[in-house]
Amino acid sequence: MCGIIGYTGRRPAVPVVVEGLRSLEYRGYDSAGVSFVHRGSLRVIRSQGKLANLEERLVTEPVVTATCAMGHTRWATHGVPAERNAHPHASGDQTIAIVHNGIIENHQELKDELVKLGHVFYSETDTEVLVNLIAERRRSEPDLLHAFASALREAKGAYAVCMMHKDEPNTLYAARMSAPLIFGVGTGEHFVASDIPAFLPYTRQVVFLEDGEIVKADAGGYQLMHLSDLSEISRESQTILWDMQAARKGGYRHFMLKEIFEQPRVVTDCLTGRIPHGHEGVLLPELEHLPTPKRLHIVACGTSFHSGSWGRHLLEPWAGIPTQVEIASEFRYREATLLDAEDMVLVISQSGETADTLAALRSVRERGGKVIGLCNVVGSSIAREADAVIYTQAGPEISVASTKAMCSQMVMLALLALHWKGRKEGGAPGTPSVMEAVELLQSLPAILDDHMPAMRERAVELARAYSEATNFFYLGRGHCFPLACEGALKLKELSYIHAEGYAAGEMKHGPIALVDPAFPTFVLALNDALLPKVESNIKEIQARRGKVIALTNPGVDLPVDDRWDIPAMPAPFSAFVALPALQLFSYAMADYLGKDVDQPRNLAKSVTVE
């Protein structure tokens, strides 16, 4: 995890770096730090906690003159969140500083060697090992570049790393291996960062670094090289078309709320260009070179796993493709026994950088399997390494809790099911035709726009009424089961209230033992074929004096403690209306309880560790 940024140019560098860190804080916020050279000395300023703490420290620092600096915002992996473990880390001789995202797996072995050579360590981090290894190699290598490359060749694991030296105050060195790192090319200035928004106010020209590449830059130019032999690489920069406004809150109190309310726009954007006028089916040219799979494995984590689980309820009946959905951190260790030659793997990831999902993709491809990536972040590792990539068009998702990304993934999964259905002309009787499905998808933005303000009000009422609960069940059947799991995930990650999502029919096999008047159950009781079964499950809970909130549709007769009517849509399209209701309830609860909505404790937006 962690966010890194480096700047070299003509502007005062520390403010540029601090501003960049602000847009990277979603990657971690246990501590932050910056370094730069002042009057021939390396300055490293760090602070535990959020960026604001670092900014307070910087008030008394001589930061104005530096035109080259680097910064880091941390999500703790090695060592507790504390100032001593914050980045940048300096070598013992105070000549070199580095910021690092990733994990050096052989850090202990390297540290033992360095300790024998007299190096002293002050933190528990693998990063401090790496910076001292560079300093050690500097003794025998002709220059700093060779020392940097030599140390990195010895390091095993993942890193995006940026380095500066007190004797080269205007030069940045950076390298990438299995962790995101992007290089920004400005006019008389250069940037390295974990993500594009960190330097988007200054340049839209971007070079995507590949694994095993090093870049050396100062204000006047840069050299891109292979880490293995330092041979030069020539690569054109690409122009990024993102709008910076999209990465700001746009008048909402929190990014999460803004992103929930963006979902109607997200649906429209996902559909754009996919169903051209007069065209019979769904256009996915990204998949032209791949056959229709005989069997599909969907692999993802967290919210993306829930969208995959929902997508299965469309892919199987509509496209007739048997579909298994697996958590990436489990799949990656057993996929060899699962995959047949005609199987295909679909990895879903908003960030495109989730370590377990990326590792699953790589291991499938190493065995000759085909992987489709469904990603939001353009140019992310998964997007670049998959055999085909479909982008979800959600726009930048800043809130740590994923909302609009799930909506976009669901739209694309529906389109994927329709696309393959079109190719096979298959699907079970009674499933919608491509045109019926497309019309329903196209009707969603207006329905959502009309009803979301009222849904937000109801969410606030219910959150207040249930704010003292310390446990929740979320129940659903069929395609509503993954939604129930997502509702529970959102509540726990934002409000720190314990919540579990269950298939409604599973309750009586054990979990119902927990039900009592203080343990409410949030039931997805939408008006579809499974409603009678869900009603029975509601009665079972009520018989144990459990309180029930039912997310349902007008006209459904349900005697429950609290009902929440949302507009009716045929299943599975009803999921697009239920999803924002679940998100808004969790948002309202977290906000009412005074929690940090956009940056919940212990989490980070992009989970680039295994």
Nearer CB in complex with ligand M6R: 31/349 = 349
Residue type (1 letter), 490: K
Rounded to an integer, what distance in angstroms lies between the CA atom of residue 274 and that of residue 533? 36
User: Considering the rule CB under 6 A, would residue 303 count as an interface residue with ligand M6R?
Assistant: yes
Rounded to an integer, what distance in angstroms lies between the CA atom of residue 450 and that of residue 145? 58
Give the shortest CB-328-to-ligand M6R separation in angstroms. Answer: 8
The DSSP element (H or E) to which 183 belongs, if any, is strand 182-185
Of 497, 489, 426, residue with least CA distance to 300: 489
Hey, which residues does 217 pair with through a beta bridge? 172, 222
* Residues identified as active-site: 2, 605
Instruction: Give me the sign of the Cα torsion angle 514, 519, 522, 528.
Output: positive
Give the shortest CB-573-to-ligand M6R separation in angstroms. Answer: 22
Rounded to an integer, what distance in angstroms lies between the CA atom of residue 517 and that of residue 211? 55
Nearer CB in complex with ligand M6R: 129/377 = 377
Q: What residue number has its CB nearest to ligand M6R?
A: 302
Which one of residues 14, 301, 386, 455 is an interface residue with ligand M6R (CB under 6 A)? 301
User: Considering the rule CB under 6 A, would residue 189 count as an interface residue with ligand M6R?
Assistant: no
Which one of residues 125, 203, 205, 351 is an interface residue with ligand M6R (CB under 6 A)? 351
Nearer CB in complex with ligand M6R: 373/520 = 373
User: Considering the rule CB under 6 A, would residue 412 count as an interface residue with ligand M6R?
Assistant: no
User: Number of residues in contact with ligand M6R, rule: CB under 6 A?
Assistant: 16
Which one of residues 77, 171, 354, 552 is an interface residue with ligand M6R (CB under 6 A)? 354
Nearer CB in complex with ligand M6R: 11/384 = 384
Tokens standing for 210? 């590949």
Give the shortest CB-301-to-ligand M6R separation in angstroms. Answer: 4
Rounded to an integer, what distance in angstroms lies between the CA atom of residue 153 and that of residue 83? 28
Task: Answer for the pair 31, 44: CB distance below 8 angstroms, yes or no.
Answer: no
Give the shortest CB-334-to-ligand M6R separation in angstroms. Answer: 20
Interactions with ligand M6R, residue window 547-606 (CB under 6 A): 603, 606
Stretch that binds ligand M6R, among 6-14, 36-44, 265-273, 343-351 (CB under 6 A): 343-351
Stretch that binds ligand M6R, among 88-96, 172-180, 349-357, 424-432 (CB under 6 A): 349-357
Which one of residues 4, 185, 400, 549 is an interface residue with ligand M6R (CB under 6 A)? 400
Stretch that binds ligand M6R, among 229-237, 345-353, 461-469, 590-598 (CB under 6 A): 345-353
Give the shortest CB-82-to-ligand M6R separation in angstroms. Answer: 24
Kind of pairing between the strands at 89-90 and 96-104 = antiparallel
Rounded to an integer, what distance in angstroms lies between the CA atom of residue 309 and that of residue 507? 19
Give the shortest CB-168-to-ligand M6R separation in angstroms. Answer: 36
Nearer CB in complex with ligand M6R: 121/242 = 242
For residue 265, count other CB atoms closer than 10 A to its CB. 16
Rounded to an integer, what distance in angstroms lies between the CA atom of residue 160 and that of residue 609? 12
What radius of gyration, in Å, describes the C-alpha atoms of the chain?
26
Give the shortest CB-348-to-ligand M6R separation in angstroms. Answer: 7
For residue 187, count other CB atoms closer than 10 A to its CB. 10
Query: DSSP 3-state assignment of 101?
Result: strand
User: Considering the rule CB under 6 A, would residue 607 count as an interface residue with ligand M6R?
Assistant: yes
Q: 230-249 mask for ligand M6R (x: CB under 6 A)?
A: --------------------
Q: 282 to each of 310, 315, 391, 417, 495, how far by Cα in Å?
A: 19, 14, 15, 9, 39
Interactions with ligand M6R, residue window 435-494 (CB under 6 A): 493
Nearer CB in complex with ligand M6R: 323/349 = 349
Hey, which residues does 73 pair with through a beta bridge? 3, 32
The DSSP element (H or E) to which 537 belongs, if any, is helix 531-543
Tokens standing for 287? 């998949």
Give the shortest CB-597-to-ligand M6R separation in angstroms. Answer: 12
Which one of residues 67, 127, 178, 350 is an interface residue with ligand M6R (CB under 6 A)? 350
Q: 118-157 mask for ligand M6R (x: CB under 6 A)?
A: ----------------------------------------
Query: DSSP 3-state assignment of 137?
Result: helix
Residue type (1 letter), 41: S
User: Considering the rule CB under 6 A, would residue 401 count as an interface residue with ligand M6R?
Assistant: yes
Rounded to an integer, what distance in angstroms lies between the CA atom of residue 302 and that of residue 153? 33
Task: Report the C-alpha dihedral over residues 492, 588, 536, 451, rounded to 10 degrees.
Answer: -130
Nearer CB in complex with ligand M6R: 131/371 = 371
User: Considering the rule CB under 6 A, would residue 392 count as an interface residue with ligand M6R?
Assistant: no
Kind of pairing between the strands at 182-185 and 190-193 = antiparallel
Stretch that binds ligand M6R, among 265-273, 351-359, 562-570, 587-595 (CB under 6 A): 351-359
Tell me: cis bond preceding 572? Omega within 30 of 0 counts: yes
User: Considering the rule CB under 6 A, would residue 357 count as an interface residue with ligand M6R?
Assistant: yes
Rounded to an integer, what distance in angstroms lies between the CA atom of residue 311 and that of residue 129? 44
User: Considering the rule CB under 6 A, would residue 304 count as an interface residue with ligand M6R?
Assistant: yes
Kind of pairing between the strands at 213-218 and 168-177 = antiparallel
Give the shortest CB-239-to-ligand M6R separation in angstroms. Answer: 24
Task: Catalog residues that contact ligand M6R under the rule CB under 6 A.
Answer: 301-304, 349-351, 354, 357, 400-402, 493, 603, 606-607
